[in-house]
Amino acid sequence: MKPFLLLAVLAFLSSSVYAEKPPNIILILTDDHGWSQLSQPMDPRVSESRSEYLETPHMNRIMNGGMRFTSGYSPAPLCTPTRRSILCGTTAARSGTEFRSPWVPADHMTIPKALQRANSDYRCAHFGKWGEQMISTPEQCGYHASDGMTGNGTGGMPNTLGVKGSHDDGPPHFIDNKDAKRTPSMTDRAIAFIKEQAEDDKPFYVQASYYAQHLSVVCTEEALAKYKAKGVPDRGYPQAWAAMMEELDKGVGRMLDALDELQIADNTYVFFTADNGGRGTVPGGDTNRLPTNFPLTGAKHSLYEGGIRVPFMVRGPGVHAGSVSHVPVAGYDFLSTFFDLAGGIGSLGDEIDGVSFRSVLNDPATVSLQRPGNALIFHRPGRYLESAIREGEFKLFIKWTPQGSIDVRELYRVHENPTEHGHDLAQDNPERVDAMEKQLLDYLARVNAEKPAPKKVKRKRRRQ
């Protein structure tokens, strides 16, 4: 090849490689936020997958400007296992099913490490709730900036609000007109970091882990007055809880506005999901109304859909506005997806359970992902003695005995009708149940997952 032609080819290749800037990525993670707790339906086919009482216009901006996943799942029905899973791209069965786990996140692949492997220019920050007993700090996991080792108490629990005892010992809600649930100040820090990276022309990843809607219920007087005037909520949560949700939504809106003002929205992916499903009861709520997670069965802590099916949506470059995907995805897919979007190539290691769903973002008609076994795995054998596997349209739910044998097997077709109660198909599909059970048990054995164990009974000592 002639020298001038070689130079021209090299110039073309160089320009094509660097013409596109690495995308910015934001993950908004809410707390105890149920699938149907938005003012637009998470599934257009299910009219009850929205609330007529709550107001979430800014969360809706993400949904309407991009894609909603009707079968989006949290990795676990509890906050810290989910946060570890998202951070490390693992199922909770692998990295720990409860608050306490021997898994040390800093010793494994994490989202910041993966992004910096894809492109060393990425700057990463975590603001808000880190988790309980996470062992590693955000900085040890690769973050350049963070709020530190924050937990439930940081965002307001009874003992941090002047109440001794549990939620039942204090008022049903608290008023904070300056920084309710730390939503305004946390949003301020996230926006400041985003502005700093935009000024430095650096690609960034920001995880904004809000404390709302976790207990305690904290809101402003103004928002509470609005919802009191609005009347009775459509589900079992109280008016103050709806007011707290509006404050959360405003924080989301401020972040989206910042992207517009900085003129970087077109090159920024905004992902939105929750750490687990909504609580079954909320202080000040009314259990005589529809369940808080209606139409889903169950709530936080359980592996029924109400505990793990959550809001899940994304907008960003190449994502079709108003698009809908029915492909099952989970929070432990984020690491692989972000690595892919950032231009990462190659394997991130054998411990990564999640897969990239970039193909779905590019083409809403995609019907499945190349996931091992085409299955999502959920496991909580300790306190709740439950496991579950979602394969295609079906979900197998297992209840264990304390001695470690299978007690109950329930099969549900949750693709179109997500309500499990009263729809068990196990007796009519024994072969499918057996096959899904084997797939689940094989995976649990492969990752040396925690096993159910007999509960210890405390015995009173005899007086001498």
Name the residue range of residue 356's domain: 22-362
Task: Give me the residues paired with residue 353 across strands.
Answer: none
* pTM higher than the cut 0.85: yes
Going by pLDDT thresholds of 50, 70 and 90, the confidence category of residue 169 is confident
Q: Do 275 and 383 fall into the same domain? A: no
pLDDT recorded at residue 190: 98
Q: Do 257 and 386 fall into the same domain? A: no
Tokens of 275: 């750490």
Query: At residue 424, does pLDDT exceed 80?
Result: yes
Residue 462 placed within a domain: no
Residue 9 placed within a domain: no
272 phi/psi in degrees, rounded to 5: -140, 130
Q: Do 346 and 440 fall into the same domain? A: no
Query: At residue 415, does pLDDT exceed 80?
Result: yes
Say how many domains are in the chain.
Answer: 2
pLDDT in tens, 140-152: 999 999 999 999 9
Residue 17 placed within a domain: no
What's the CA gap between 202 and 204, in Å, rounded?
6
Sheet strand arrangement including 375-380: 375-380, 386-391, 394-400, 406-413
Q: Where are the alpha helices (DSSP H) in 316-410?
A: 334-341, 358-362
pLDDT recorded at residue 6: 44
* Identity of the amino acid at 265: A
CA-based angle 38:41:43, to the nearest 5?
130
Query: At residue 159, does pLDDT exceed 90?
Result: no
CA-based angle 386:391:392, to the nearest 5?
140
Query: At residue 97, does pLDDT exceed 90?
Result: yes
Residue 190 placed within a domain: yes
Determine the average pLDDT of the residues in 112-123.
98
Determine the average pLDDT of the residues in 149-156.
93
Boundary-marking domain end, from 309, 341, 362: 362
Boundary-marking domain end, from 362, 382, 401: 362
Strands (E), 109-163: 123-128, 145-146
What CATH number did the domain enclosing 405 receive?
A: 3.30.1120.10
Task: Give me the residues paired with residue 391 across strands.
Answer: 375, 394
Q: Do 300 and 411 fall into the same domain? A: no
pLDDT recorded at residue 158: 82
Q: Do 58 and 204 fall into the same domain? A: yes
What's the CA gap between 394 and 271, in Å, rounded?
26
Residue 8 placed within a domain: no
Determine the average pLDDT of the residues in 85-106.
98
Query: At residue 2, does pLDDT exceed 80?
Result: no
Using only C-alpha atoms, the chain has a radius of gyration, in whole angstroms, of: 23
Q: Do 442 and 309 fall into the same domain? A: no
Boundary-marking domain end, from 305, 330, 362: 362
Q: Do 136 and 28 fall into the same domain? A: yes
Residue 425 placed within a domain: yes
Determine the average pLDDT of the residues in 127-133.
97
pLDDT in tens, 251-290: 999 999 999 999 999 999 999 999 999 999 999 999 999 9
Q: Do 100 and 32 fall into the same domain? A: yes
pLDDT in tens, 29-39: 999 999 999 99
| Number of continuous H segments (helices) and E segments (strands) in the chain | 12, 16
pLDDT in tens, 8-51: 444 444 333 334 899 999 999 999 999 999 999 999 999 999 99
Residue 61 placed within a domain: yes
If you average pLDDT over every residue of the chain, what do you get? 93
CA-based angle 152:153:155, to the nearest 5?
75
Lowest pLDDT segment from 110-124, 158-172, 202-216, 409-423: 158-172
Q: Do 397 and 358 fall into the same domain? A: no
Q: Do 220 and 251 fall into the same domain? A: yes
Determine the average pLDDT of the residues in 383-397.
97
Lowest pLDDT segment from 81-95, 131-145, 166-180, 443-457: 443-457
pLDDT recorded at residue 160: 83
Q: Do 395 and 331 fall into the same domain? A: no
Determine the average pLDDT of the residues in 163-190.
92
What CATH number did the domain enclosing 218 receive?
A: 3.40.720.10
The answer to whether 248 and 28 are in contact (CB under 8 A) is no
Q: Do 229 and 345 fall into the same domain? A: yes
Lowest pLDDT segment from 81-85, 168-172, 410-414: 168-172
pLDDT recorded at residue 235: 97
Going by pLDDT thresholds of 50, 70 and 90, the confidence category of residue 189 is very high
Residue 34 placed within a domain: yes
pLDDT recorded at residue 455: 65
Q: Which residue has the higher pLDDT, 327 or 166?
A: 327
